[in-house]
Amino acid sequence: MPIARSKLLVLQVLVAVFAIIFWHIVTNYPVFSDVKTMKFFFSTPIDVFTRVIRMFADGSVYKHLWITLVETILAFVIGASLGIVIGFWFARKPLVAAVFDPYVKMMNALPRVVLAPIFALWFGLGIWSKVWLGVTLVFFIVFFNVYQGVREVPQVVLANARMLGMNERQLLRHVYWPAALAWVFSSLHTSVGFAVVGAVVGEYLGSAAGLGYLIHQAEGVFDVTGVFAGMVILMMFVMLIDAIVTVIEKPLLVWKPGETRTV
């Protein structure tokens, strides 16, 4: 049974309200432990909220937001482009794919966090070490999707396109390319999310600006309010980017079954 939108929204907001009230009570009243200790470890919702407001009010957060945004966008664009090109190449040249297969698996199996220090060494503490960390994450998602997308074009669609007189170049443009793009778009949320992860983790492990840097700085001085405020801003940042992705992908996936909704 479909749930009414308004009812769902109310329930969703209620979850947040209860969580915040719970947080407020346990940090302002001696429920589990004395108030001072609880405040040290968990801060309070009101403190975190006022800190977030202050960071926006005095404008100190915008620089960091901007840096993380630039890193995210660069990581996504570079990672996705490489993923599309190499995914296409591998899918059309089975020999290349077979030769590189074990290496691709090895690279993908490597937890990317361990690359952060080496990237910092190679690319410095500026944005590029973060961008490349994000690229290593985004690349594999897009690469696997494009590879799959190109290889899984239904044989009958391919045969039909050839019978319609398409040459290799036209097949690439009218059949393989749209099929691959469809898979890229269907993984857009995941890959953009990973671009953010790459940027923030990179900043966290060594940088002079960005949301990850903010959180790391606050942790360094046991400023729990600062850590939570940084996390709240990061969450808002991710949700905003996700919303933008949703708006972008909508017209691009209109041809997909199940993607059109009647409101």
Partner 1 sequence: MTKAVELAGVSVAYGLAGGGRYEAVQPVDLSVRDGEFVALLGPTGCGKSTLLNIAAGLMPPSSGQCDIFGQKLSGLNAKAGYLFQQDALMPWKTAQDNVAIGLEVTGVSRAEALARTQVMLTKVGLGAFGDRYPHQLSGGQRKRVALAQVLIREPKILLMDEPFGPLDAQTRLIMSELLLDLWQQDRKAVMFVTHDLDEAIALSDRVVVMSAGPKSRFIGEFEVNLPRPRDIAEVRSEPAFHRLHADIWSCLREEVRKTYGLAGKGAA
Q: Which is nearer to partner 1, 164 or 235 (CB)?
A: 164
Task: Look at the block and give the residue holding tokens 């997308």.
Answer: 149
Q: Which residues bind partner 1 (CB under 8 A)?
A: 154, 156-157, 159-167, 170, 174-175, 178-179, 182, 254-258, 260
| Angle of CA points 86, 92, 96, to nearest 5° | 65
Q: Which is nearer to partner 1, 59 or 257 (CB)?
A: 257
| Closest distance of CB 248 from partner 1, Å | 17
Helix (H, G, I), strand (E, B) or coil at 255: coil
Q: How far apart are the first and last CA of the chain?
A: 16
Amino acid identity, residue 246?
Answer: T
| Closest distance of CB 155 from partner 1, Å | 9
For 210, 225, 227, 255, the CA distances from 55, given in Å and listed in that order, are 13, 12, 13, 43
Q: Which is nearer to partner 1, 87 or 226 (CB)?
A: 87
**What would the two tokens of residue 166 be?**
């398409």
Q: How far apart are CA 126 and CA 39, in angstroms?
A: 35
Q: Which is nearer to partner 1, 111 or 165 (CB)?
A: 165
| Closest distance of CB 263 from partner 1, Å | 16
Q: Which is nearer to partner 1, 106 or 156 (CB)?
A: 156
Count, residues in the chain: 263
Q: How far apart are CA 95 and CA 97, in angstroms?
A: 5
| Closest distance of CB 160 from partner 1, Å | 4
| Closest distance of CB 261 from partner 1, Å | 13
